[in-house]
Amino acid sequence: MIKPTPKDEEIELDPKRYIVSETDAKGKITYCNDYFKEVSGYTEEELIGSPHNIVRHPDMPKVVFKLLWETISRGKNINAVVKNLAKDGRYYWIFTEFEIRKNTDTGEIIGYHASRKTISKYVIGVIAELYAKLLEIEKTQGVKASQDYLVKFLKDKGDNVEFANIMEEIHRFY
């Protein structure tokens, strides 16, 4: 599938509705609710079986997804602010709660559940600035340098601040 060309046009989300999706352990979509289809502009047939990065916006730094996958692969839930790309090229910001789904018999991770909701414009501004800096570093110095910058950014905010709870920390500091 060809990625849409991004437009500088934001989709305003309904603060009373949640975007919900589930993936298998490899990140392929296995479930999406009607609001996800509505906002993303994709049909259920286009979404089910596709990698969840079908909605990844090019403004998102790779390091965010690297750290996100590392965290959930270790069996830890995580929250993150993500800028997604709709099929028509518009974008939408969401606060996403990633929860691990496990096989009840074996305890093996079998997939992930994500529910998303709106986020304040102020927090989006803080995150957008941080993500732009991380993306700039990635383009010139690579993902490792971007991760080093993020770690330093978090350390500058206080002791024991980790990526796994970055969104709570950003809410706390801003």
Q: Please check whether residue 78 lies inside any domain of the structure.
A: yes
pTM: 0.87
Are the C-beta atoms of 15 and 94 separated by less than 8 Å?
Answer: no
- 41: domain CATH number? 3.30.450.20
Residue 168 pLDDT greater than 80, yes or no: no
pLDDT in tens, 149-166: 988 887 777 656 566 555
Give domain status of residue 152, yes or no: no
Contact 3, 42 (CB under 8 A): no
Say which amino acid occupies 168: E
Q: What is the dihedral of CA 101, 112, 76, 58, to 10 degrees?
A: 180
| Structure tokens given for 9 | 């046009």
Query: Is residue 132 included in any domain, yes or no?
Result: no
- Give the range of the structural domain holding residue 55, as residue numbers without chain letter: 19-119
Q: Which residue has the higher pLDDT, 136 or 151?
A: 136
Radius of gyration of the chain (CA): 16
| pLDDT at 163 (0 to 100) | 62
Q: What is the pLDDT of residue 120?
A: 83
Is position 143 within any domain? no
Whether residue 93 lies inside any domain: the answer is yes
The answer, yes or no, to whether residue 140 has pLDDT greater than 70, is yes
Structural domain includes residue 94: yes
Pair of tokens at residue 166: 């970055």
